Structures are given as structure tokens and as C-alpha cells.
């Protein structure tokens, strides 16, 4: 078994019932599994919720994460998303921006294909979507300004092609 640590995105389909996030959080907490990011949202089936977790570990850890999660009563499917899947994260950022900083910030936002969604005399709100790496890159550029609030949704993902996430045999 490979002992090198790696990051993976898990896509977990769970029954939409109260307490599911508490159960999953409890499982990851008590078994020592990392949660780097966690998103949950409804699906096209109102009985089901899609949870996307970014986590890190070696082969043995992933083995445990998959089997311990899969055996939970509320878990329908769990998959490690392939590298070729499409991942997106949304960033909303409020930055202090007076008249003299506005145009240079606007330039950065344009390079990252973001949007300025609100503007006031002393600040602006920026929206950027993309892969986590792109958001990280944007955050790096913005670090020299005075940030007021940063809200990232955490990553979510879907695989390319006709197959659903659990039908996918995306090996890369």
C-alpha cells in the first residue's frame, strides 16, 4: 500500500434526513479523517443530498474512509472523483477599495474572470468561480489589499461524459 499522502474529492450521496451532516462529521472526527472542505446540497431527487468532501490521506486511510462511510445506513453511494472531473468553488470577497485602488483591483478581477457584484465608497464585493487552485491564485493576488470578509463555498464536482458519478469508471 502506498503511504504517500494525497488529496482527493469524495462525492457522497446520502439520504436527506435530519442529522446526516452530524453523523458524517462525527464519523470523520472520531476516526481521524481530515475534512479540508465540506459542501452539502439537494439533488434532483428530494430524498437525496449530495455531499462533497475534500480530504487527504494515504491508500490505507482512503480505504478506511470509503469502507467506514459506505457502511453507514444513510449513505447510498461514495465515490472518489477522478482527476478529469469538473470541480468548481465560489468565492465572495469584500475588500477595502478606495478610489485609487479600484482600477488595479478591477484588472486582477478581469484576469481571473471574476465579477464585481457590489460597490460602495470604501469597498467592493467580488465574485469568482473556478477550481480551488484558481481561487487560491486569486486569493494570493488579493492578499496585498485590506480584506474585510472572505467566504468560500468549498469545492463541489461532477464527472464528464454520460455516466453518473457512481457509474463512472474514470481511472486516471
| Site of interaction with another protein (CB under 8 A) | 1, 18-19, 22-23, 26, 30, 60, 63-64, 67-68, 70-74
Q: Minimum distance from CB of 47 to another protein (Å)?
A: 14
Question: For another protein, which is the closer residue by CB, 71 or 96?
Answer: 71
Q: How far apart are CA 91 and CA 105, in angstroms?
A: 15
Alpha-carbon distance of 124 to 133, in angstroms, equals: 23
Cα-based torsion angle of the residue sequence 99, 104, 105, 108 in order, rounded to the nearest 10 degrees: 170
> Least distance to another protein from the beta carbon of 26, Å?
5
Query: Cβ of residue 12: shortest distance to another protein, in angstroms?
Result: 15
Query: Which residue, 1 or 144, has its beta carbon nearer to another protein?
Result: 1
Q: How far is the CB of 73 from another protein (least distance, A)?
A: 4
Of the pair 23, 152, the CB lying nearest another protein is at 23
Cα gap 7→65, rounded to integer Å: 13
Buried (b) or exposed (e) across 5-22, using 16+ Cβ within 10 A? Answer: eeebbbbbbbebeeebee
75 or 81: CB nearest another protein: 75
Q: Exposed, middle or buried by CB within 10 Å (0-12, 13-18, 19+), for 133?
A: exposed
Amino acid at each position: 500500500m502506498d503511504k504517500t499522502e494525497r488529496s482527493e474529492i469524495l462525492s457522497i450521496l446520502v439520504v436527506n434526513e435530519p442529522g446526516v451532516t452530524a453523523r458524517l462529521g462525527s464519523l470523520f472526527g472520531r476516526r481521524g479523517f481530515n475534512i479540508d472542505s465540506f459542501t452539502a446540497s439537494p439533488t434532483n431527487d428530494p430524498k437525496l443530498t449530495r455531499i462533497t468532501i475534500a480530504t487527504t490521506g494515504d491508500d490505507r486511510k482512503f480505504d478506511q474512509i470509503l469502507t467506514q462511510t459506505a457502511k453507514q445506513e444513510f449513505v447510498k453511494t461514495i465515490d472518489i472523483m477522478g482527476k478529469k472531473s469538473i470541480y468548481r468553488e465560489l468565492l465572495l470577497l469584500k475588500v477595502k477599495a478606495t478610489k485609487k485602488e479600484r482600477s488595479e483591483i478591477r484588472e486582477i478581477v478581469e484576469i481571473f474572470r471574476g465579477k464585481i457584484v457590489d460597490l460602495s465608497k470604501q469597498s467592493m464585493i467580488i465574485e469568482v468561480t473556478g477550481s480551488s487552485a484558481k481561487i487560491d491564485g486569486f486569493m494570493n493576488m488579493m492578499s496585498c489589499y485590506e480584506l474585510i470578509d472572505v467566504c468560500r463555498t468549498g469545492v463541489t464536482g461532477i464527472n464528464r461524459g454520460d455516466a453518473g458519478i457512481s457509474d463512472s469508471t474514470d481511472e486516471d
